[in-house]
Amino acid sequence: MGLMYPAWDSPDQCRGYTTHAIYALFIFCHTNDASNDLNFIVHFDERVLSHEKVLQLLGLLEFVLRQVCCSPKATLSEIDLVSPNDWKQLARWNAAIPPAHETTLHEMVLKFRGCQPDKPAVSTWDGGLSYLEIDDVSANLARLLMERGIEIGDLVGVCLEKSRWATVVLLAVLRAGGACVMLDPGLPRGRVEEMIRRSMPKIVLATETQNGLVSDLDTPVTLITDMFMQSLPREDKFCLPSDSSSCALFVLFTSGSTGTPKALVLEHRNLCTSIRDHRSGMNISGESRGLHFAAYAFDISIYEVFNVLSCGASFMRPEDVSCLETLVLSGEAVKQENVEVWASKVMLVNLYGPAEATACTVGRIPPVGWIPGTIGSMVGGVGWVCVPSNASQLAPVGTIGELVIEGFARATEPSLGCTGPETWCNTMPMEQSAILVAKTLRPSYAVNALSLGRSRPGFTVHGQEELMPAEVIVAESFVGNASLVVFIHEHRNYDEEGDEDAVSDDRPLFKKPIKAFRESAAVVETRLHEVIPRYMVPSLFIPVHEMPKTATGKMNRRLLREEASRLSREDILLYRVTRGSMGKVTTKTEEILQGIWARILSLPAKVIGVDDDFFGLGGDLISAMTLAAMARSQGLALTVADIFDNSALNKQAARTRSTSLFSINATPFSLVEVGESGNALLSSLVRIGIFYTVASANFTFYFVGNIDVGRLEQACASVFAKHEILRTLFISYRDTLVQVILRDIQCPFHHTADVEDLTTATKALYDQGAGRHITEVGLPLRYTLLSNLPQSQHIFSIRISHAQYDGVCLRLLCDQIQAAYNDLTKFASAPPETDFSSFMYYRRQQVNKEALDFWRTYLDGASMTLPPGLDGGIRQDAILMQIRDICSLSPPPGITDATLIMASVAAALSKAHDSQPLVLGQTGHALVSSLCD
């Protein structure tokens, strides 16, 4: 879809730029000399970016550009990236932090003892307990713990499998004033030993089956058995301590997927506030029955227990899920397959929250229209998305950054001997803090946010983070469960001989791709091309023996990325789907193209087969343009369009023609009517329209430091000699303008070394040609270098007529001057480019006389059909152009937007003129012709 910002008067001027817009976002910038405005043309993929997001992006771009214009000497770090509109949006989202819930977690549960004492609280495989029973038994165990020395703030290790006593033990520790250190029985013994060593609990509560995991660790162990729990003495007069809401509640250890596991301390106030604010979004009430599913290594296990009990609800056995009403997904990114299975049957909820800050977002997932990665709105606090490199600087709304959660939390206990999350308390009210979470988020434009996962390098497909469509197709196409790992491998030069058996069995994680796997991957790639853009299609599929897991059971993506980063170029080629049969080149043309591919893609020529895909090996639009130019230098005619239509090497070889087939009748003066040429230094004359009345535009570049003036002059002269369009004069001839291309002329380079005031000198330079007609200035192009040598300051100016450049060519001109300055020899050996005169002669030769004769005969006597009311001409005060946004077009396959629009215009005119014969025309222009680039 295309978008103009702001709306301007020439929407067709840049439409040709989108011909090869293969990426999700293209932005073209054009200046309006008359009004000194900047106009932006945006081409974007609506499957990736919404219209609203693009408008917000352009608004931010405008905000930044205005700052740059007002403060041209400002550094990048001084540019404000949060626009006024973003501040207004953030103010609406984060108007206030929800007040803290000043209570304790066990009080939230045990308050139901009086109103519903006999209601089941826990129902498990080994029996059930009512609210009255869990109150009594937990009180008895709490008294025993206090007798054994547990005081307020002490840590108690808890290593239990799921049973009816697990909930009672947690409540007992809290009622005794202690905090639970959660030790999951599924963890390796070494990990449990480390957790106990770092937390130093006074006592560990464990079942008989877990005694071997925690024994011999210099920490007293109390075994929790049925006999022990049922024989606890009851003492009604024994008083339990009154905890403060700021007391420690749980100590959790993170998975360590991003480094060393961190020990985190949760307070009563922290968890109680979170539960109060998010349980309504999870559809939990006193009538609910919750399934306790998660392992105790995860903080979500605490929520499974206390979310339910604090509402007066009950736990249930898995066998009782036939009446399931609400399903909450947490801990891992929600998959599209989960949504398809559950969203239409139950209330599906996405619960997100790092262990550092407990559950902090709740998002209900609708049956249709859910955007993968949406985690919902913040609850129990407010969230800020900050620049990844600077957590104190807000990121613009809609951009990717790291999450900072502002609410109620405690930093890691110093006594635990580990590094906790970054916490800022000095600038915030008492009892509030902000925790930095290394979680990559992108806030959306409603209340929700998109989670892109933990901060990680390269886990994208050409900048596109949402891989859900690809993952779904992979899972459906491969036998069994399949996971997709996507990474970008940096291009490197491989001049040395590669090892044919680079992928060997000493790599236990990755398997060698067999024929069946390649065939399945080829099917997947074909299906992906049908549903997602080309740039999102993975070009690499790696089979693994088994997906690695972390100690807490999560997929170990970090290990996958580390193993993938060790792959050599030859390794990667073995896994590429598009390698074809690795057939050898058999013709001279294929051999030439193979060598060009190798240079462009930084690959050894021997690993490129005739069936390989240029884009599958890493090619893109820029490299396709380079390929076309290098092929032409080898005498092969291959256009960019040919490369896109024929991406395999053998197909490109079959498509190429000899450049001699493109014979161009370039007889000087043949495009204009002249009487005699005499001895003028004219190589060609090209008729142009009279619409460039201003002589030139000036582009200036400011430098500080030493400049080699001789090298710069040589660089400018090389570029000047390379392009005919720069050696151009515009002269008046027989009441029109003609373009004169000079064969040999000295490069117009001028240097002034003793300039005291560069600003004044630059203004004087501008004024020299201001207001003069293009025919009055001689050669329009002029290079000028103004230098203040004592201060090592320079202004480099390029004066050039707008008839000689556009927004694309100007950047190329500057890049070539830079390239020639840095390495003149390399620049001189670069592939040749099409001359401007050759291009014009070629376009003139494309005129089809038979086609023109047909249309002249067919339309003889016809007149253009005009809209009603325009038959008498256009009034001077009429609105000549009005631009409005229209809904996105979705033409049938094979029908372009342009064809659909023309058909709509024809239908409207036909209706207005009672279906009389219609005559209407369409003018089109493309910047890329079929002439070799």
Q: Which of 46-60, 384-398, 560-574 has the highest mean pLDDT?
A: 46-60
Choice between 121 and 536, residue whose per-residue pLDDT is larger: 121
pLDDT of residue 802: 77
Task: Give the pLDDT of residue 710.
Answer: 93
Reported as a single tens digit per residue, the pLDDT across 141-178 is 999 999 888 988 899 999 888 888 888 999 999 999 99
For residue 233, which amino acid is it? P
Q: What sign does the CA torsion over 533, 536, 541, 544 have? A: negative
Q: What is the mean pLDDT of residues 236-262?
A: 72
Is the model's pLDDT at 603 over the cut of 50? yes
Cis omega (within 30 of 0) on the bond before 6? yes
* Per-residue pLDDT at 677: 41
* Alpha carbon distances (Å) from 431 to 105, 142, 415, 423: 18, 28, 20, 12
Q: Which residue has the higher pLDDT, 495 or 259?
A: 259
Share of the chain above pLDDT 90, in %: 7
Positive or negative: CA dihedral 339, 342, 343, 348: negative
Average pLDDT score, the chain: 73
Buried b (16+ CB within 10 A) or exposed e, 481-516: ebebbbbebeeeeeeeebeeeebeeebebbeebeee
State residue 196's pLDDT score: 87
**What pLDDT is attached to residue 238?**
64
Query: Of all helices (H) and strands (E), which one includes residue 347?
Result: strand 347-352
Q: 268-278 and 300-309 are packed helices; what angle lies between their axes, rounded to 10 degrees?
A: 70
Task: Report which of residues 690 and 629 the model is more confident about.
Answer: 629
Instruction: Give the pLDDT mean for 166-195.
Output: 86
Tell me the mean pLDDT in the region 580-606: 83
pLDDT at residue 481 greater than cutoff 60: no
Higher pLDDT, 85 or 915: 85
Closest CA to 530 of 580, 578, 473, 485: 473
Is the pLDDT confidence value at 342 over 70?
yes
Count of alpha carbons within 13 angstroms of residue 362, beta-carbon side: 21
Least confident range from 391-395, 664-668, 728-732, 846-850: namely 664-668
By the 8 A CB rule, do 388 and 455 touch? yes
Structure tokens at 97: 């932090």
By the 10 Å C-beta count (0-12 exposed, 13-18 middle, 19+ buried), 146 is classed as: buried
Distances (CA, A) of 837 to 640, 666, 720, 726, 843: 20, 8, 15, 12, 10
What is the SS3 assignment for 439?
A: strand
Contact 104, 174 (CB under 8 A): yes
**Residue scoring higher pLDDT (133 or 475):** 133
The model's pLDDT over 261-309, given as tens digits with 9 standing for 90+, comes to: 778 888 888 788 888 887 777 777 777 777 776 777 677 777 777 777 7
Question: How far from 287 is each of 20, 328, 641, 818, 819, CA to CA, in Å?
Answer: 58, 16, 65, 73, 73
Distance CA 739, CA 729 (A): 6
As a dihedral over the C-alpha atoms of residue 213, residue 218, residue 223, residue 224, rounded to 10 degrees, the angle is -80
Q: What is the largest CA-CA distance in the chain?
A: 123
Instruction: Kindly tell me if the per-residue pLDDT of 686 is higher than 80.
Output: no
* Integer Cα distance of 139 and 147 in angstroms: 12
Q: State yes or no: pLDDT of 570 exceeds 90.
A: no
Q: What is the CA radius of gyration of the chain?
A: 36
Section 864-882 average pLDDT: 60
Beta strand spans in 280-345 (E): 289-291, 314-316, 326-329
Structure-token match 């023609």, residue found: 657
Q: What integer pLDDT is reported at residue 54 of this predicted model? A: 86
Looking at residue 436, its pLDDT comes to 42
* Average pLDDT of span 482-489: 48
Confidence of residue 77 (pLDDT cuts 50, 70, 90): confident
Mind listing the pLDDT tens digit for each residue in 297-329? 677 777 777 777 777 666 544 445 667 788 888
CA–CA dist 533, 467 (Å, integer): 12
**CB-based burial of residue 253 (10 Å sphere; 0-12 exposed, 13-18 middle, 19+ buried)?**
buried
Q: Out of 169-183, 544-558, 863-877, which region has the weakest mean confidence (pLDDT)?
A: 863-877
> b/e string for 693-724 if b means 16 or more Cβ within 10 A?
ebbbbbeeeeeeeebeeeebbbbbbbbbebbb
* Residue-level pLDDT at 508: 64
Q: Is 76 exposed, middle or buried (0-12, 13-18, 19+ CB in 10 A)?
A: exposed
Give the global pTM: 0.45
Predicted confidence (pLDDT) at residue 798 exceeds the cutoff of 80: yes
Ramachandran angles phi, psi of 267, nearest 5°: -100, 165
Residue with tokens 């023109």: 852
Third-level CATH fold of 685-843: Chloramphenicol Acetyltransferase (3.30.559)
Answer whether 289's CB lies under 8 Å from 451's CB. no
> Confidence band (pLDDT; 50, 70, 90) for 877?
low
pLDDT beyond 90 at 593: yes
Name which of 117-121, 224-228, 657-661, 894-898 the model is least confident about.
Answer: 657-661
The residues near 763 (Cβ < 8 Å, ≥ 6 apart) are: none
Q: How many CB atoms lie within 10 A of CB 600?
A: 18
- Residues paired with residue 449 on neighbouring β-strands, in sequence order: 443
Tell me which H or E stretch contains 135.
Answer: helix 131-147
Q: What is the pLDDT of residue 545?
A: 78
Q: What does the pLDDT look like over 508-554, one tens digit per residue? A: 688 888 878 877 777 777 777 666 655 566 767 888 877 777 665 66
232-236, 446-450, 661-665: which range is least confident on average?
A: 446-450
pLDDT of residue 457: 32
Mean predicted confidence (pLDDT) in 727-756: 84
Segments making up each domain of the chain, as ranges: 2-80, 105-372, 468-578, 580-661, 685-843, 861-912
pLDDT value at position 438? 41
- The pLDDT value recorded for residue 817 is 92
What pLDDT does residue 22 have? 61
Structure tokens belonging to residue 798? 């390029």
Q: Which pLDDT value is given to residue 439? A: 45
User: Pick the residue with more confidence: 451 or 44?
Assistant: 44
Fold for the domain defined by 580-661: 1.10.1200
pLDDT band at residue 401, thresholds of 50, 70 and 90?
Answer: confident
Q: What is the SS3 string spanning 20-63?
A: HCCCCEEEEEEEECCCCEEEEEEEECCCCCCHHHHHHHHHHHHH
pLDDT at 24 exceeding the cut of 70: yes
More confident residue, 39 or 709: 709
The domain 105-372 is placed in CATH, from the list 3.30.499.10, 3.40.50.12780, 3.40.640.10, 3.90.280.10, at 3.40.50.12780
- Taking residues 488-500, report their average pLDDT: 39
Q: How far apart are the first and last CA of the chain?
A: 27
